[in-house]
């Protein structure tokens, strides 16, 4: 599926119901970005590439549909999921050409400054792009940076969050749903797509103020939630919750004041509580004041134990900035697990003649009666390991960032062998 030559956006969906998805970071054709781990991400006209082994050795896919953890970090996980899953939707995918250039889109975003927020709600078509439909309208959201925490092996006495002191910050659960902006009339996605919520769903939402939140079904159901919200006539909206965490109208007020207005309208969803306790469909997200690194570790553990994705950290007294901000952080700690090596995949191109990835099966001492799931681990293998891979039957340890809807590890990375198992 072709990428827009200006901003690499992707237009997908059935004819007449197209939606446009944008990368979290715009790269010009030919531009390169160095990752923290030393790999190089580059944009081409038709695709992106990464110099990491996971991307280079994924030879079973056309280069247009390859991805890796580094591309997901830079471009956004939702964008990568859509970009690399276009084969099954090819008959519905149509490139969307826009008459206006990037400067027109930037000017449009500028109209959504704090001083214009009330006007944009009162007249939703006032800022329509010359080439956009009435069902598409971009918003400038407050975006999170990545919390600088340690990942991987560390002494037991060392805190997960030792690189930055979270004392005094506000902590909330990071919901693995889809972002939604309420403008007083309609719910919109971060990229300007209208979420087709039924009238009964939006009835409790205020017409006098805008809201920022997440449409969410349950922990681990991101893909299902996204599908329900994108469909124009889904009958599963009764499962969706709108988890509200900000009110952008008062963008220059301290965040605590904005939360007060939200809590006056909706019940509060307590931190890490089971979904079964959510009897309403609109909630104010609870914010917990952090007392220090060990308290943050405990809150993270609570969320992960409940099947959650991670946490959000908000600076006290912060304003609503319509950009990626240092006052809002997300933290999705890598998980780790064991797997058994059952085979190898040969490397290609620069890794020809070497092992491209380890074919593994999941392993759990607590769930040995369950059928193991097969997946490949290529990222994290050194040149020596590609020449001398762990023998078949070896137990390895790997890091990953959650499970897919099929229960497979997402972005697995080799972390070492387990000699004690």
Strand 241-246 relative to strand 211-216: parallel, antiparallel, unpaired? antiparallel
Average pLDDT over residues 97-126: 31
Calpha distance 389→188 (Å, rounded): 48
230-253 residue pLDDT tens:
776 778 899 999 999 999 886 678
Higher pLDDT, 298 or 403: 298
**Average of per-residue pLDDT across 311-340:** 86
Spatial distance between the Cα atoms of 143 and 341, rounded to a whole number of angstroms:
39
Q: Once rounded to an integer, what is the mean pLDDT over residues 53-75?
A: 81
Does this model's pTM top 0.85? no
Q: Residue 410: which pLDDT band, with cuts at 50, 70 and 90?
A: confident
Task: Report the pLDDT averaged over residues 6-24.
Answer: 70
Each residue's pLDDT tens digit, 162-218: 467 899 999 999 998 889 999 999 999 877 888 889 999 999 999 989 999 999 999
Distant-in-sequence, close-in-space partners of 104: CB < 8 Å, separation ≥ 6: 129, 130
The tokens describing 196, both together, are: 């087709």
Mean pLDDT of 18-34: 80
**318 contact partners, CB below 8 Å, separation of at least 6:** 254, 255, 325, 327, 328
Instruction: Return the pLDDT at 148.
Output: 72
Q: Given this model, what pLDDT does residue 407 score?
A: 81
Q: How far apart are CA 267 and CA 256, in angstroms?
A: 16
CA 242, CA 265: separation in Å to the nearest integer?
Answer: 13
Can you give the pLDDT at residue 16?
A: 60
Question: Could you give the CA distance from residue 391 to residue 139 in angstroms, rounded to a whole number?
Answer: 52
Please tell me the number of Cα atoms within 13 Å of 373 on its side-chain side. 14
The predicted-structure confidence for 256-305, as pLDDT tens digits, reads as follows 999 999 999 999 999 988 776 778 999 999 999 999 989 998 998 888 88
Q: State percent of the chain over pLDDT 90.
A: 27
Among 7-16, 234-243, 269-278, 349-358, which is the least confidently predicted range? Answer: 7-16
Rounded average pLDDT over 385-404: 86
């Amino acid at each position: 599926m072709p990428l827009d030559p200006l901003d690499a956006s992707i237009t997908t969906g059935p004819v007449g119901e197209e939606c446009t998805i944008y990368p979290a970071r715009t790269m010009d054709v030919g531009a390169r970005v160095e990752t923290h781990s030393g790999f190089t991400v580059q944009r081409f006209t038709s695709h992106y590439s990464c110099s990491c082994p996971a991307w280079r050795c994924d030879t079973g896919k056309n280069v247009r549909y390859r991805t890796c953890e580094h591309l997901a970090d830079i471009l956004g996980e939702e964008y990568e999921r859509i970009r690399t899953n276009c084969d099954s939707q090819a008959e519905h995918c149509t490139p969307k050409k826009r008459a206006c250039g990037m400067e027109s889109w930037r000017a449009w975003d500028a109209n959504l400054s704090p001083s214009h927020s009330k006007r944009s709600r009162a007249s939703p078509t006032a800022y329509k792009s010359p080439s956009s439909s009435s069902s598409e309208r971009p918003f400038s959201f407050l975006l999170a940076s990545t919390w600088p925490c340690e990942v991987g092996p560390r002494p037991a006495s060392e805190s997960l969050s030792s690189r930055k002191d979270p004392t005094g910050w506000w902590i909330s659960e990071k919901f693995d749903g889809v972002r939604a902006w309420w403008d007083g009339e309609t719910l919109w996605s971060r990229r300007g797509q209208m979420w087709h919520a039924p009238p009964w769903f939006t009835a409790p939402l205020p017409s006098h103020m805008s809201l920022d939140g997440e449409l969410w079904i349950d922990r681990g159901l991101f893909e299902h939630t996204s599908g329900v919200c994108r469909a124009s006539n889904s009958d599963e909206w009764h499962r969706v919750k709108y988890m509200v965490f900000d009110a952008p109208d008062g963008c220059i007020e301290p965040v605590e004041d904005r939360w007060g207005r939200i809590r006056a309208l909706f019940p509060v969803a307590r931190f890490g509580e089971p979904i079964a306790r959510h009897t309403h469909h609109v909630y104010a997200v609870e914010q917990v004041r952090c007392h220090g690194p060990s308290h943050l570790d405990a809150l993270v553990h609570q969320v992960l134990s409940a099947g959650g994705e991670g946490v959000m950290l908000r600076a006290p007294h912060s304003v609503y900035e319509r950009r990626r901000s240092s006052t809002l952080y997300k933290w999705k700690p890598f998980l780790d697990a064991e797997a058994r090596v059952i085979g190898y995949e040969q490397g290609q191109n620069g890794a020809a003649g070497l092992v491209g990835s380890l074919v593994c099966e999941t392993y759990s001492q607590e769930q040995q009666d369950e059928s193991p799931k097969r997946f490949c681990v290529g990222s994290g293998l050194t040149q020596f390991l590609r020449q001398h891979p762990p023998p078949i039957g070896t137990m390895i340890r790997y890091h990953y960032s959650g499970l897919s809807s099929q229960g497979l590890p997402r972005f697995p990375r080799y972390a070492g062998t387990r000699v004690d198992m």
